[in-house]
Amino acid sequence: MPRDLIGEFEQMVLLAILRLDDQAYGVPIVEEIEERTGRRPADAAVYTVLHRLEVKGHVTSEMADASDERGGRRRRYYRLEPTGLAELRAARHRMLRLWEGLEDALEEGG
Amino acid sequence: MTADRIPQWQLILEKLLEMLLPHGTQESILGDLRERAQARRLQGRFGSIWWVRRVLTLSTSLAAHRLRILLRRLPETARRTIRMSGFARDLHHAYRSLLRNPAFALAAAACIALGVGAVTAVFSVVDAVILRPLPYADPERLVVVREKNLENGRMGVLSPSNYRDFRDNTVSFEGMAAWRRASATLTDGRLPVRVTGRAITHQTFETLGVPLPRGRDFRLEEDFQDPPPLVIVSHQLWQGRLGGRDTILEESITLDGRPFRVVGIAPRGFRLPGEEGVDFFVSAGIEDVDNRGGKWLRAVGRLKAGASVAEARADIEQVARTLSEEYTGSNSGIGGAVAPLRDHLVGDFRTRLWMLLSAVALLLVLASVNVANLMLARASSKEGEFAVRLALGAGRRRLLSHSVAESLLLALGGGTLGVLLAIWGTSALLSLARESIPRLEEVAFDGRVLAIALASSVASALIFSTAPGAVAARMSLARVLSQGRGQTRTSQNRRTRRIFAGAQVALALVLLIGAALLIHSFSTLLSQDRGFRPQGVLTADVSLDEGGYPDGSSQSRFFEALLQRLNGRSDVLSAGASLYAPMSGGRLRVAILFPGRGENEIAQVLAITPNTFETLGMRLIAGRTLAPTDGAAAPSAVWVNETAARLFWPGEDPIGKELKLTLTIGDQPDYDRWRTVAGIVGDVRFRQLAEPADAQIFVPSAQYPVSGMTLLIRTEGDPMRFAGELRLEVAQMDPDLAVAEIAPLEDLVAGTVAEDRFYTVLLSLFAAVALALSAIGIAGVLAFSVTQRRSEMGVRLALGADRRQLVRLIVREGALVTLTGVAAGLAVSAGLTRLLEGVLFGIGTLDPWSFAGAVVVLAATALLACWLPATRAGRVDPMEVLRTS
């Protein structure tokens, strides 16, 4: 198995970035994951993953929009890169293949 | 929604977080945090706790992340060793384990923070005041030079002539510097303001080794009488009132109506040794002043390289001897004294600060023992887990390693919190101590202080990790299994916990006794008879400028007129004025001559107006009081206090006797005027409540006019309410005069005991914390005991025991712990209180009342601590116990 399959949490972050379009920075990414999964991820975990994804080249970031309420600090906006999108697709494909034929087990009461 | 809404502590924590965050991420992460905080504020959901938790989780996770990256960079061999030792894993595991038990982790961290914080805070003060060298060049070569009364050993300030002779006729000194207090009114078009300063001899800055960042020192030729109007301003005055102008060195400022050219700016924060910060420096102008009797110069000297203090001392004493032979009038019986500057400045405080340091060290041990107790409680509940681990093959070392990892994390976490606590606590300490302790402005949290914080954390960890370590070491699978599930080795554990609780009681008692001694001493001090009644008296300083009041008679006429106006008011009960007020720190000591006697004496001298004795509430013991008829033309009269009467005319009636004051009036030394004693007044403690009164001589100001006096005004009710009226009265007489230092006399009195109050309050605070910690310790042990002995008690109840008997059982256990603790604490205190030797006033170090009081308080608290667990014992339901065991 290739050693750098992206993990579940990394997928969640990438999906959040995908959904948030051009508004993907720290605060809304965390909130998006919380809203969609019902569990709030640890801030530090999200930041760590974002950093790792950027190192791997799956996302890029740029600083923008300083504001008074942030004490004059800018936000770091993230954008999905083609490799990131490809990884997401591959991951989804893998899971679907694994689940193939087992959909019945997903039914309640089974 | 701007940053000034955000409290200071949050900004500090943000700064710390910034330091921890990986490079490049700080801006976005901190910005996100702010954004979320603001969003919460808008929704009304913002809580400090939430914010602190966010910061904590961010900092710990990200710090760990950074650590991991750092470790990844280490060479492979190092990494393997760390991995093999498994300690990294133990740390990680311990971290998780602590997170699962937040109550325990927080309680333990809080105790450690308390202990480490107290030690760090006190140490930072000790370091600044005692350990660090003084802010002058080669401070070890600086000594303080004083005159000494050879008969009674009292030291005092110098007269100008004596100073010059000491300086010029000795060989051990590279140079000397001297100064006296000065103050003036600064006028610059705005409201006139009173500024304080010092009149310094030439090359003072050079002698101290402090270079002036701008301008120059005073020169020899500028140090003669009527010196040219030059001034060196302080950094503070320059940046403040003078606007920080770069051109200041070419400008003049107006002091007391005269223009003074600015020739230099003193370094920021500069102070003369032992003095407060002032606004300006002018030349003392003493090189040709012929005055041996009037003493007002403070002096320091710089020893020549290679000269020792003992040599300098002998040198000065020799010169003083020569002077006393040559000038029998003013100098007989007067010697010289030299002492290292540092000792002179901080000598008194050494004892007290070390006492504080010992107290906090005790507190640290106490807090650590408390943590040990907490860990023991936890270890007992984890014995099952340990046993299983042992069964699965974990070596004893692994268990120990886990305990050590936990202790380390707690120590570091608690220690960091402790440093933050210390930073906050020290600023609170400083505002309490203010002028009581010298060099406080130098307190800083540098490497040395932080090193002490680290050492305290480690020491604390060593103490409290013995507990679970001991538990782990005694672990034996067989033993645990043989006792059955849920049952643990109770008796051994309980005994250890009881020993710990007893130790806490002992330590708390030591601190309580210390606090009780200080409290008793302080109240004894306050109950001393001052000799006057400060309640309801307002003090205010008025100084006349030479321009408007060039001679003695115009000066005394002004004060006479002012006091007449004040006394004529219906809201003034009585008003007087004196050269300086009691407890104001002022003192004028002068050599006194008596007819037919060769030697002279030194006495404190005050010029006063009529009504002053009455305003202060001083007692008139014999003779008459000072009256308006004692004017300039009237026969010269003086009043003496009881001590002067006793010292100068033992066994005789001083009234009618004569004396001379070696004072100067204007330019004329006043040696030739005989003055007659007209009355005796009661002793007044003028300087400190703790100091018995000097010999005091009171001169009518009409016969010894002075240009500045302190008004003393007795009103009904709160004296400060009269302050505005007073300013109006003075302004009506002369709008160019400033009234300074308006304060109730009671405040001045309180100021002299401020230092004692400070130590008393502080030590009481430590004692209270210690008491609380030991109460928790006792309660903890007993609660544990109740839980452990539930089945036993259930059985007893079933067999017909009275509930009260169960309660008594628990209380007896608590009493045993307390009694042993008290016994140990008394024994230790008996030895330790010797440390308070020089600090206590009026009571001995083994004062029985203080000891008894402390024991009573402790016993009462211990009883209270027993109450809750004991009532729980009383409520044990035998049926439930029998069912579940």
CB B414 within 8 A of CB B457: yes
A7 Cα distance to chain centroid: 10
Q: How high is the pLDDT of residue B320?
A: 92
Pick from A43, A63, A68: CB nearest B1: A68
The ipTM of this complex is 0.89
Q: For residue B32, which residues of chain A lie inside 8 Å, CB to CB?
A: 25-27, 43, 70, 75
CB B824 within 8 A of CB B506: yes
Q: How high is the pLDDT of residue B247?
A: 86
The 8-class DSSP code of residue B133 comes to P
For chain A, percent of residues with pLDDT exceeding 90: 51
- CA torsion B687-B688-B692-B697 (nearest 10°) is 10
Q: How high is the pLDDT of residue B489?
A: 53
The mean of the pLDDT values for chain A is 87
Instruction: Show which residues on chain B lie within 8 Å of chain A, measured between beta carbons.
Output: 1-3, 22, 25, 27-32, 34-36, 38, 54, 57-58, 61-62, 65
Q: For residue B25, which residues of chain A lie inside 8 Å, CB to CB?
A: 47, 51, 76
Q: How high is the pLDDT of residue B4?
A: 47
Where on the phi/psi map is residue B733: left (φ > 0), alpha (ψ -120 to 50), or beta?
alpha
CB contact under 8 A, A68 and B36: no
Which pLDDT tens digit goes with each residue over B366-399? 888 888 887 777 766 666 666 677 677 766 666 6
Buried b (16+ CB within 10 A) or exposed e, B241-262: bbeeeeebbeeebbbbeeebeb
Q: Which residue of B has its CA nearest to A44?
A: B58
CA B353, CA B766: separation in Å to the nearest integer?
A: 14
CB contact under 8 A, A26 and B29: yes
Pick from A47, A69, A76: CB nearest B35: A69
Q: For residue B65, which residues of chain A lie inside 8 Å, CB to CB?
A: 44, 48
Q: How high is the pLDDT of residue B2?
A: 41
CB atoms within 10 A of CB B827: 13
Best of A30, A43, A59 to disrupt the B interface (most B CBs within 10 Å) is: A43
Q: What are phi and psi of B527, to 5 degrees?
A: -85, 5
In what helix (H) or strand (E) does residue B695 lie, and over which residues does it extend? Answer: none
Burial class for B40, CB neighbours closer than 10 Å (0-12, 13-18, 19+): middle
Q: For residue B95, which residues of chain A lie inside 8 Å, CB to CB?
A: none
Q: How high is the pLDDT of residue A69?
A: 81
Best of A46, A70, A76 to disrupt the B interface (most B CBs within 10 Å) is: A70
Among B204, B167, B141, B173, CA closest to B312: B173
Q: How high is the pLDDT of residue A109?
A: 56
The C-alpha R_g of chain A, in whole angstroms, comes to 16
Helix, strand or coil, per DSSP, at residue B880: helix
Q: How high is the pLDDT of residue A102?
A: 82
Per mean pLDDT, which range of A9-23, A68-82, B654-668 is the poorest?
B654-668
CA B18, CA B12: separation in Å to the nearest integer?
A: 10
Q: How high is the pLDDT of residue B885?
A: 54
Q: How high is the pLDDT of residue B319?
A: 93
**How close does chain A come to B409, measured CA to CA in Å?**
20
CA B216, CA B222: separation in Å to the nearest integer?
A: 12
CA B104, CA B98: separation in Å to the nearest integer?
A: 8
CB A65 within 8 A of CB A75: yes
Q: At A104, which amino acid appears? A: D
Q: How high is the pLDDT of residue B762?
A: 84
Which neighbouring-strand residues pair with B196?
A: B183
- CA torsion A90-A93-A94-A95 (nearest 10°) is 130
CA B102, CA B659: separation in Å to the nearest integer?
A: 79
Q: Give the HSE-up count for residue B425: Cα atoms under 13 Å, Cβ half-sphere.
A: 22
A64 Cα distance to chain centroid: 20
Which residue's structure tokens are 């060793």? Answer: B81
The ranges of chain B with pLDDT < 50 are: 1-4, 485-487, 667
Q: At B358, which amino acid appears? A: S
Pick from A26, A44, A71: CB nearest B62: A44
CB atoms within 10 A of CB B643: 18
Q: What are phi and psi of B672, to 5 degrees?
A: -95, 0
Which neighbouring-strand residues pair with B669?
A: B664
Q: How high is the pLDDT of residue B826?
A: 92
